[in-house]
Amino acid sequence: MSPNKAKSVFTIADLEAQIFDLERIRVMFRAPADLRVRGVAYGEAFTNATPKNKPVTALCNRIDEVLRTLENDLSKGALKDFDTATITYQIVDGSGNYPTKLTHSQTVRASYNH
């Protein structure tokens, strides 16, 4: 990811949707869905899906890059002090299971068709 990518404002739910739209893989973040953050959007950082022969680790590396760009966009109320460094996530396959990071991306994508 280029360090010169423009930052935008979006919610964690938006980030989940951005990843699914490009990758066709469900990611569930452990953070308030309505938390507004400023950072590089997933679709801005990456324009192609993770190759199907790559393990989920490659997708996780991409997500981690985007997470490192995030900062709280001064959400109101209880979320105003939320530390974006505490955001974690899980990859979820079509059976609702958490595949290992060595599972190929295509295997996870195909699991949603069952």
**For residue range 4-61, what is the model confidence (pLDDT) as tens digits?**
788 999 999 999 999 999 999 999 999 998 899 999 999 999 999 999 999 999 999 9
| 3 domain-assigned | no
pLDDT at residue 82 in the model: 87
Work out the angle at residue 85's Cα, subtended by the Cα atoms of residues 46 and 73, and round it to the nearest 5 degrees. 75
| 59 domain-assigned | yes
| 2 domain-assigned | no
| 45 domain-assigned | yes
Domain count, the chain: 1
| 80 domain-assigned | yes
| 92 domain-assigned | yes
| 1 domain-assigned | no
Residue 45 lies in domain: 8-111
User: What is the Cα–Cα distance from 35 to 27, expressed in whole angstroms?
Assistant: 16
| 101 domain-assigned | yes
CB-count burial class (<10 Å; 0-12, 13-18, 19+) for 19: buried
DSSP for 44-100, written as a single string: HH-SSPPPTTSBHHHHHHHHHHHHHH-EE---SGGGGG--GGG-EEEEE-TTS----
